[in-house]
Amino acid sequence: MKVAALQMVSTPRVDENLAQARKLMAQAAQAGAELVALPEYFCLMGLRDKDKLAIAEPLADAREPDPATTPMQHMLAQAAREQGIWVIGGTLPILSHEPERVFNTVLVFNPQGERVARYDKIHLFCFDDGERRYDEAASLTPGRQPVSFEMQDKAGEHWHIGLSVCYDLRFPELFRTLGAAKPLDLIVLPAAFTDTTGKAHWELLLRARAVENLCHVLAPAQGGLHENGRRTFGHSLVIEPWGEVLAVQAEGPGVVLADITHERQTTVRTQLPALTHRVLG
């Protein structure tokens, strides 16, 4: 199956970001991708952290998102249907039960434009090196439930796909939980990694998650200097189960394409059956 990680450098203007996302999804579909994933906050990188509250949407009807009240969800569903692809919609702000907070949410749409999965980011990023400070808990409500979903590709093969977002990458127990009942075939991790942490840990941790779960990883990211002054690390990539990077783009908007196969995964799991050797947990 051909998959695509879509890299963006999102702006404070939602319409502009949605237009770029549409363009990248169409480009990926034309290149043969069956599954495409957008980065975290593909819809908005605001000038202030609280800007996401102003564009937050209620969760739309799973079959027919209303373009008037849920335009971002409508765009994702429409693009999936028009292009005939599976769309993992990066993240967008979904209204929370807590005042002045939203969920940072991944939505998955099938080629018919129907929402088939929702994951709310569980682990909230906090960082302070004396120069830069981030605290997602100031505006986000954490999710509580790990989420995976099943898809069937055009060849009739089935894929068990685990959802995660950015800072989740640092918590391997999440991925063990996702693969507890059935091993994962693919981990998808939309991100907006900071340049500082990305240089140190991005590829290292993604390759570790691939190797320890013996599965593929698809990681679409924000990649460049944003209008709010923040620089995101980029390096959207696809990794195979032995930890080899199949495709990567350092910075700037683009489509990162790669073919992933069950055959490669089976070979690795046969040669090194580590998933069957687990003793704890």
pLDDT tens-digit readout, 114-146: 999 999 999 998 877 777 677 898 899 999 999
Q: Which residue range forms the structural domain that includes residue 264?
A: 2-276
As for how many domains the chain has, the answer is 1
pLDDT digits (tens, 9 = 90+) for 236-275: 999 999 999 999 999 999 999 999 999 999 999 999 999 9
Residue 238 forms part of a structural domain: yes
What's the predicted TM-score (pTM) here?
0.96
Residue 91 forms part of a structural domain: yes
Q: What values do phi and psi take at 29, rounded to 5?
A: -60, -40
Residue 185 forms part of a structural domain: yes
Reply yes or no on whether 215 is catalytic.
no
The continuous run of DSSP H or E covering 277 comes out as none
CATH of the domain at 162: 3.60.110.10
HSE of 142, CA atoms in CB hemisphere, 13 A: 13
2, 34, 40, 215: which is the annotated catalytic residue? 40
Reply yes or no on whether 121 is catalytic.
yes
Concatenating the DSSP letter of every residue in 102-129 gives EEEEEEEE-TTS-EEEEEE--SPPEEE-
Reply yes or no on whether 40 is catalytic.
yes
**Position 280 pLDDT exceeds 90:** no
Residue 251 forms part of a structural domain: yes
121, 136, 240, 251: which is the annotated catalytic residue? 121
pLDDT digits (tens, 9 = 90+) for 63-117: 999 999 999 999 999 999 999 999 999 999 999 999 999 999 999 999 999 999 9
166, 203, 240, 251: which is the annotated catalytic residue? 166
Backbone CA torsion sign across 99, 101, 106, 107: positive
Residue 281 forms part of a structural domain: no
